[in-house]
Amino acid sequence: MKWIYSLLFISLTFLGCQSSDKKHQHQQEEAEATVSDNCAHCGMPTSSYKQWSSSLVDENSKEHKFCSNKCLMMTIHQMEELSNPTEVSVTDYYTLEKIDGKKAFFVWGSDKVGPMGKGFVAFKTKEDAESFAKDYNGQLPVLSYKDIDTEVVKKAIQ
Ligand SMILES: [Zn+2]
């Protein structure tokens, strides 16, 4: 088992280096101490990528965590039993604040690569999402939760 963790650590370090966030070192230290919850979609640790992490609460009040908004959206649009979450929580990419996913704005196609490659980068405000999209070559217009339908998800995972 040990080598898996070493491998994970190396890839995390590598991904961490790719990210130009000033806070990433701090986040990484925190992540190492708390790696425990795995993504309900792909199995990767969710606490390692704070700026991408998300979760949903299903109709039976059960929480499911995800490594990224991409895994979250794939789950909502591909798994019928989780297609109608009562609550969706995503992380604001800039502030790392947990925000209501159903009210968030998302940027697809930017240069910022998450744990699952290109992803839906989440923001609390439309203004932040738009300025991020302009700075990092994301698609405009930015997307609301409702804009991300099955078609959008299908294109995203191609
Ligand atoms: Zn995942």
- CA of 68 from ligand 1 middle (Å) equals 6
Tens-digit pLDDT profile for residues 83-94: 999 999 999 999
- pTM of the entire predicted model: 0.75
Residues 142 and 122: their CA atoms lie apart, in Å, by 10
How far away, in angstroms, is 22 Cα from ligand 1 center?
24
**Secondary structure of 87-136 in HEC code, one letter for each residue:** EEEEECCCCCCEEEHHHCEEECCCCCEECCEECCEEECCHHHHHHHHHHC
Q: How long a stretch of residues is the chain?
A: 158
Instruction: Report CA(38)–ligand 1 centroid distance (Å).
Output: 8
Residue 108 near residue 156 (C-beta atoms within 8 A): yes
Range of the domain at 107: 2-156
Average pLDDT of the chain? Answer: 83
pLDDT digits (tens, 9 = 90+) for 1-28: 454 455 444 454 444 444 444 455 555 5
Q: How far apart are CA 119 and CA 108, in angstroms?
A: 6
* Least confidently predicted of 6-15, 104-113, 147-156: 6-15
Q: How many domains does the chain have?
A: 1
CA of 71 to the centre of ligand 1 (A): 5
Output the CA 93–ligand 1 centroid distance in Å. 17
